[in-house]
Amino acid sequence: MQHRSLSARLRSGLFAFVFAPIALVFLGSSMVDVQALAAVGQPLASVEGLIGLALASLLLALIALNCEESSTGMVVTFVWSIIVGATQFYGVARIPFLMKSSVEPDDMSAGVVWSLYPVCLSLMLGACALTIKSVRVRAGQSTRMPLARVHRHAFGTTVAIPAALAVAALMIGAAPSNTTSVAALGLEGMLRGHSMGHGLAVGAGLALALIVVSARWSITGTQLATWLILVLPTYVVVPVWASLTGNVIVPGSSILTKVALACPTLAALGMATGCASLGILWARIRAVRRLDSVEDATYNQGPAAE
């Protein structure tokens, strides 16, 4: 049993060690690429960025699925998110040849600093790692918050959906409202005259963490909240609507500018949250199955002992 546990930790940790930095750098680069073109009125122009968001999220899902027997992989991913996030603040962690727009280091930094995107992502991944660990540790223990055998869909949903709405509202509130200088200065220009709403951004990150924690009781609420509230509107509905109606970002201050600039960030964070939280589901299923097998073995040994 100890050998199997060690093997699961090594497999989960090694997989995350290799693929987590790739996923995190790819996700951030794609998000800023989409944001850069949205800032000049082309929300659907970066096919590379849109596909990159999906592929990076898929890698995070694979990392999460490898955490069913150990939270090591998610812990490694969390640590990598801090390292990659720090480099993104300096504009270093980007993949220029996979980006449609010409994003320079200053543009990369500007694209993540107003939303504190790396901080929000790290908060979510840290909460995910702790929740996976909690699910595994509490299985079969008599604690104040024991692992329930059945999913509490109503409770999980009532926590996750308001939290997702809060993430969207806070991130839109933190977004810049004027992109007049972007054409001349790049993404750095949208920060001209912008009062940073870092308090709102941190609040959005904490709400993301709450969404992930709610998966402990039911994955349904987490998945509904992330895909229907955070991803679908920002990844598909708003960009398509803006392109078809012509309500794209134009020079000048506007609430539509705040919404359009927040969309790529919300899409990236939503996809990452939805995919990473799958690890909690698999860890929960494995923990319940292990608990059932232990109880069955104990029950079968009872009559034999008599």
pLDDT attached to residue 25: 95
pLDDT attached to residue 74: 94
pLDDT attached to residue 293: 55
Convert the pLDDT of each residue in 158-185 to its tens digit.
899 999 999 999 999 999 998 888 888 8
| Residues lower than pLDDT 50 in the chain | 140-145, 294, 304-306
Rounded to two decimals, what is the model's pTM?
0.89
Domain ranges of the chain: 2-292
Q: Is 297 exposed, middle or buried (0-12, 13-18, 19+ CB in 10 A)?
A: exposed
Phi-psi region of 198 (alpha: psi -120 to 50; beta: other; left: phi over 0): alpha
63, 77 in Cβ contact below 8 A?
A: yes
Q: What angle do CA 84, 278, 52 make, to 5 degrees?
A: 45
How many CB atoms neighbour CB 273 within 10 A?
Answer: 32
pLDDT attached to residue 298: 55
pLDDT attached to residue 294: 47
pLDDT attached to residue 98: 79
Contacts 24+ apart (CB under 8 A), 247-252: 248/38, 248/41, 248/42, 248/43, 249/38, 249/39, 249/40, 249/41, 249/43, 249/179, 250/41, 251/178, 251/179, 251/180, 251/183, 252/178, 252/180
Phi, psi at residue 178, to the nearest 5°? -140, 125
Picking from 211, 208, 190, the residue whose alpha carbon sits closest to that of residue 200 is 208
